[in-house]
Amino acid sequence: MATASQPETNPVDVPYYISDNSAVTAATGWRPHLSMTDILDDVFGWLREHRRELEVILK
């Protein structure tokens, strides 16, 4: 499983992004239950719900 980081990213960015779960699936049989679209919908929904709090932090 290959990983990579981009040192030029923002300090608050997630340092590692792994999108290939085939090794975990092969070793354990586990598979994700949410699609990438579902996950992004959840994240954007959370961001919308917490917009005011985030605006204070991110100013």
Whether the per-residue pLDDT at 2 is higher than 70: the answer is: no
Residue 14, in any domain of the structure: no
DSSP class of residue 51 equals H
Per-residue model confidence as pLDDT tens digits over 3-54: 676 677 777 877 777 778 899 999 999 999 998 899 999 999 999 999 999 9
CA 28, CA 59: separation in Å to the nearest integer? 43
Residue 50, in any domain of the structure: yes
Task: Please state the domain count of the chain.
Answer: 1
Look at residue 10 in the predicted model and tell me its pLDDT: 78
Look at residue 12 in the predicted model and tell me its pLDDT: 81
Domain span including residue 39 = 34-58
Look at residue 14 in the predicted model and tell me its pLDDT: 77
Look at residue 9 in the predicted model and tell me its pLDDT: 74
What are the C-alpha distances in Å from 38 to residues 19, 23, 32, 42, 45? 15, 22, 11, 6, 10
Look at residue 6 in the predicted model and tell me its pLDDT: 65
